A and B are shown apart, each in its own frame.
Chain A
Amino acid sequence: MLNIYFLILFAKSKKRLKTLQLCGILCVMRVKAKLKKWQEKGLLDEGTSKQILDYERARMASHFSLGMQLCGGFAVLLGVALIVAANWHELGRQAKIIAHFILNISVSIWLFKVGYDRTKPVLQEILTLGLFGLNLTFIALIGQVFQLDGTIAMALFVWMIISVPLVMVYARSGFTAWIWLIALYLTAFLLLKEYGVLLEDEYERFLLAYFVSLFLPLALYADHCMPLTQKFRPKFAAAFRKTSILAFVVGASLSSMLFYDGASEIAREAPSYLVHLVCVSAITGLALVYIALCHRYFSKYDDYDYDWGVLLLSAAFMGLPLLSTLESSVLAALHFVCFWGAIGAMAQKHGAEGIVNLSIALIAIRLYIIFIELFGDALMDTGIGLIIAGAVMIMFVKLAQKFKRYIGQRGAVQNAE
């Protein structure tokens, strides 16, 4: 109930409502600044610029409205759940089961009707999310009423299995897609954690975890490329693409940490180093082949060269630290810098300015850290390290600025041509 109260309080205050709208306004302002810049450069005429701005304003307004309605729906559901929870002991077990069943049937029928009419997309989204949540609470209720000894991982697994068709058929928005993806990754993580122990030894568990962490995002990415997903669920396709690439890039970046001590420990768990080498190479190689085959197959539908390049690079960089038993902070930094250098170069070629800036910033920070690591024991050494790191960072920033100017000039020349 507290949530509903806060939501009403929040929504009633015009001042706070304006704060909520600020996010949307900022996005429009960013577009506005860019449009002004392009107009000054003569890339856009005033009419087109106004049309783009009007479109963005309308889009942000609908985003805000949808977001607020979804938040409202969620708060109502949470409120109802809390009221039921507060009076839980008053209900008999049959009453709980029957009431939940009736609730599920009612929402299902309502959703079917709304989905059939196709006139209320926001209501359809709220009902889908509601039913998705009700499926989970029903699983929990059965576990509670019949005193089942199930695990959270198994409950989530069953929930995902029975709810996949529902989400795929009725959900449309990116918001639902992200919630579903978070639930999917959480389920995969908990399943690995709880049922991975069923495997004979720790090395087998590592191989399973490595395989799943590579192929789950890859499967989702391939799903994003499918015509069915692209045509009927474009928001889901976009969310699949973003999470998969994010998972791979973050995974490859974090894998450099294995050069500190992780990889040698994993290799020690293996029956022999040769077995470890073969297993890691085989899984990584399989992922690379899968990426290459998917790229070839889906290139007939769209141009995914940049994405597949990032995935290929990330998979290769994820496997690299696992193949080595060397422990070195310099190698860890080198791995990270090379990875982000390559990502930056690909982004530059693709025209993704944000990623180029991000890669430069990350490389600079990583170099800064390695200097602190190398010279960080005594005060004197730390001082020298910080001076060198600072100098290197300034040098990098200057180089980056020169590089950006060079790109800008090159772009101008190409435009002139």
Chain B
Amino acid sequence: MQSNLPEKVESASVHFAMKNAKWIAIFSLVLPLLFFTWQVTTHISQEREFEAWRIEVQGYDPRHILKGRYITYRFNYPWADGAATDCSDFRTSCCLCLRGARENPNASLVNCETALETKQCQGLLRKDYKGRDRSKKNFSIGLTEYYVDERAAKTLDKMLRNNEISMSVDVLLAPKGQNGHAQMTRKARLGELYIDDKPLSAILDANELPFE
């Protein structure tokens, strides 16, 4: 379509763009850099501050679409005796409560508000249930994919699914609050991955892949 716009368009937005062209250009280039700086510093500080809870994992199908790069698993929670293992009683307020040792802690599902009041948990991760997942029996905190480079991912994934190795991962949660009891967090992160209690990064650095 042939535009009939006059040569000098009388528009405030056009004038603004022409007057501040240099600053708009700088902003457009700096914005992504600022975002990446903020992301990297946030994640590095979270890695330092967050508390690691090591939980065992087990193999799981279907595998990741980029199989060969990721290990896919699900958490093998060490549920505490008599603790609730589904969220259907707690409606939308459902938390994963971790207690005891940092390695293989006792896990239970609790009402988030009650857990905060009673200070019964050392690690508390909130899971919001929306849509039809509300009554789902299998509680999931996500974080079920771990990036491993192509030298090891495919083999490890297969060995995990065949129960040939034991694997655990560090789940990083927000640190304790001022009163010493767990702060509730909605966002957890993954830390180190362990194969037979040895950190994967150390195994890869030393080129000691046990299965090669």
Using a CB–CB cutoff of 8 Å, the interface residues on chain A facing chain B are 88-89, 97, 101, 104-105, 108, 111-112, 115-116, 131, 135, 138, 142, 144, 146-149, 158, 162-163, 165-166, 168-170, 197-201, 226-228, 230-232, 234, 237-238, 241, 301-304, 307
Is B101 at the interface (CB under 8 A from chain A)? no
Does any Cβ of A come within 8 Å of B17's Cβ?
yes
CB < 8 Å: which of B14, B25, B32 contacts A228? B14
A397 to chain B, nearest CB (A): 30
Q: Is the interface of B mostly helix, strand, loop or mixed?
A: helix
- Mask: chain B, 1-22; 1 = CB below 8 Å from A; 0 = not: 1011100010101100100001
Chain A residues lying within 8 Å of B35, measured Cβ to Cβ, are 158, 162
Which stretch in B74-82, B119-127, B147-155, B158-166 binds the other chain?
B147-155
Q: What is the CB-to-nearest-CB distance from B9 to chain A, in angstroms, rounded to a whole number?
A: 4
Q: What separation, in Å, do the CA atoms of A307 and B5 have in the docked complex? A: 17
Known: A227-B11, A228-B13, A231-B14. A142 touches B5 (CB 8 A): no
A357–B32 Cα distance when bound, in Å, is 47
* Chain A residues within 8 Å of B5, by CB: 227, 230-231, 301-302
Minimum distance in angstroms from A159 CB to a CB of chain B: 9
> Quick one: which of B17, B40, B191 contacts A97, CB cutoff 8 A?
B40
* A146 touching B189, Cβ below 8 Å: yes
**Which residues in A have their C-beta under 8 angstroms from that of B4?**
301-303
Q: Provided the pairs A170-B28, A199-B131, A241-B1 are in contact, do residues A149 and B33 lie with their beta carbons within 8 angstroms?
A: no
Query: Given A97-B40, A148-B189, A302-B4, A231 and B9 touching (CB < 8 A)?
Result: yes
Say if the beta carbon of B146 comes within 8 Å of chain A.
yes
Please name all residues of chain A whose beta carbon is closer than 8 Å to the beta carbon of B17 when the two chains form the complex. 228, 232
Complex Cα distance A158/B132, Å?
Answer: 27
Q: Does B130 contact A (CB under 8 A)?
A: yes
Q: Which residues of A contact B151 (CB under 8 A)?
A: 89
B1 pairs with A307, CB closer than 8 A? yes
| Contacting pair A198 B130 (CB below 8 A) | yes
